[in-house]
Structure 1
Amino acid sequence: MKFVLPLMETALHQQLDVLLKRYYLKDKLYHQMNKQFRREQAGFKGEQQLDYHLSLAKLADAYSLARVRL
């Protein structure tokens, strides 16, 4: 399998990770940011799992495009 776009965390995922460490749990925005962060993290984990399953398929002529939203 050929990787055209490698799998990396999105900029939003990285930014939310840093911001959540700086906010208090009682802050109003914390819960909204945490919800968005968990959504971004779930998408990243899903792409990791997809890459694993595609690697088992032994596809020689396939291309992998990470971070593509359809």
Structure 2
Amino acid sequence: MEFDAASLAARREGVVYWIVPAGMKVRHGITDKPGPWPATPRTASITAQCAGCVTEYQRRGSPSAVWDF
């Protein structure tokens, strides 16, 4: 089985997952791995990221992966 770059990044330790919480229009960073990717996520077009989350995870030097479910 082959994985794309985002899937491989998501399997590393200390990864920040950029998710869109229900009803939100901006991505927030979390460190707990979320659920599986669906076939056609409704949040895929949302690219804005929470400025506070970006600052914190850049300070940490954490790798990241966009995660839509």
**What band does the TM-score fall into relative to the shorter chain?**
under 0.3
Greater percentage in strand:
2
TM-score under structure 2 length normalisation: 0.25
Q: Which has the higher contact order (CA 8 A, sep 6+)?
A: 1
TM-score under structure 1 length normalisation: 0.24
| Higher Cα radius of gyration | 1
Greater percentage in helix:
1
